[in-house]
Amino acid sequence: MITIIDYGMGNLRSVQKGFEKVGFDARISSDPNEVRKADKVVLPGVGAFGDAMHNLRETHMVEAIEETVKAGKPFLGICLGLQLMFESSEEFGLHEGLKLLPGHVRMFPPGLKIPHMGWNQIEIQKDDSILKDIPDRSAFYFVHSYYVDPGDSGDSTTLTDYGIKFTSIASSENLFGIQFHPEKSSTLGLRILKNFGELR
């Protein structure tokens, strides 16, 4: 069972429907114990980093996420969920993240239109199971004003060019994070959800 964490941030139903379209049961839950029991866990999210971390702490999800990751279960962060996986963010002050991956969340440099919104391409940096049957230079749908700056360049699975080259997919062992919205990215976005669902 795939469990999608409900912590009051974002449209969870669209992610759930994406998984259902590619043949997987996905349950939305705000119960940390349900997260602990899940085979795979998804952390979506739209909104401010600081608010999201506050909600995760208040709902005792931080501990459940840490236990899930330590148990080696596949874990997927989407959009804000990707950013929360890192050590900190400079969005509206400095905020601590989940610290699942080394690195920080930064604002796009001055002069770039923000949010970065619309379709943009990925440049594949390394082979990864999450990218099965995804061609290099495929386009996906983005909406974000901040980007992740990994502390380990080996965690950058794909890069995307928006004035600067930023990490659009990060991965390390059982951890996967996606900056774009796969559930809004047509056939190839759904393929990425299918690839995650098929992980063992």
Instruction: Please tell me which residue in 96, 116, 181, 198 is annotated as part of the active site.
Output: 181
Specify the 3-state DSSP secondary structure of 149: strand
pLDDT by residue (tens digit) across 6-37? 999 888 999 999 999 999 999 999 999 999 99
User: Over the stretch 95-133, which tens digit does the pLDDT of each residue have?
Assistant: 999 999 999 999 999 999 999 999 999 999 999 999 999
Give Cβ neighbours of residue 181 (< 8 Å, ≥ 6 apart). Answer: 78, 79, 140, 141, 142, 143, 189
Q: Determine the topology of domain 2-197 in CATH.
A: Rossmann fold (3.40.50)
Is residue 79 part of the annotated active site? The answer reads: yes
**pTM of the full structure:** 0.97
Q: How far apart are CA 159 and CA 169, in angstroms?
A: 7
Q: Is 183 a catalytic residue?
A: yes
Do residues 85 and 177 touch, judged by C-beta distance below 8 A?
Answer: yes
Residue type, 145: S
Is the preceding peptide bond at 135 cis, omega within 30 degrees of 0?
Answer: no
The catalytic residue among 79, 91, 95, 116 is: 79
Residue 161, strand partner residues: 165
Ranges of each domain in the chain: 2-197
Task: Give the active site residue among 95, 104, 116, 183.
Answer: 183
Nearest to 144 by CA among 93, 175, 102, 184: 184
